[in-house]
């Protein structure tokens, strides 16, 4: 599988964990050997694996399922690092996101997620633009 396809798969695994409010799966998508960070919509920058995962535990504990959809993901590969830019529909909210990944051994793992409001939300048009179940 090409790197871009592997990165898009890792991105999909992140959104699947998010949609299912699956904290163990969310823990598994984050890097262990590299610094990590997250900026949730309207929130401050959070640094460090423990703090990042604590923020996800708090969010994922709110419900047993999230109505979230990743649309138009585009992977950009920079050697052992990559970005995925995409739009998110979370309930009725329109967001745009940047997800950063690095290679750790043979896996692409997340090192940063940031999403914030977007004035647009593209229509779901392809197999990669589908609700996450």
Predicted confidence (pLDDT) per residue in 40-77, tens digit: 999 999 999 999 999 999 999 999 999 999 999 999 99
131 part of a folded domain: no
132 part of a folded domain: no
129 part of a folded domain: no
74 part of a folded domain: yes
Mean pLDDT within 88-105: 96
98 part of a folded domain: yes
Q: Can you give the CATH number for the domain in which 40 is found?
A: 3.10.450.50
Instruction: Report yes or no on whether pTM surpasses 0.85.
Output: yes
Predicted confidence (pLDDT) per residue in 1-40, tens digit: 589 999 999 999 999 999 999 999 999 999 999 999 999 9
Q: Which of 58, 36, 57, 34 minimizes the C-alpha distance to 45? A: 36
10 part of a folded domain: yes
| Ranges of H-type helices in the chain | 3-19, 23-29, 49-60
Full residue range of the structural domain in which residue 10 is found: 3-122
128 part of a folded domain: no
13 part of a folded domain: yes
Q: Domain count of the chain?
A: 1
């Amino acid at each position: 599988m090409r790197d871009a396809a592997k990165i898009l798969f890792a991105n999909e695994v992140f959104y699947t964990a998010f949609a299912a409010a699956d904290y163990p799966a969310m823990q598994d998508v984050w890097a262990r050997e590299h610094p990590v960070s997250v900026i949730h919509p309207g929130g401050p920058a959070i640094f460090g694996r423990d703090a990042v995962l604590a923020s996800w535990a708090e969010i994922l504990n709110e419900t047993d399922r999230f109505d979230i959809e990743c649309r138009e993901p585009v992977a950009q590969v920079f050697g052992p690092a990559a970005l995925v830019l995409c739009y998110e529909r979370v309930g009725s909210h329109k967001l745009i996101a940047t997800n950063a990944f690095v290679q750790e051994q043979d896996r692409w793992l997340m090192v940063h997620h940031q999403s914030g409001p977007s004035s647009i939300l593209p229509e779901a048009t392809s197999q990669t633009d589908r609700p996450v179940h």
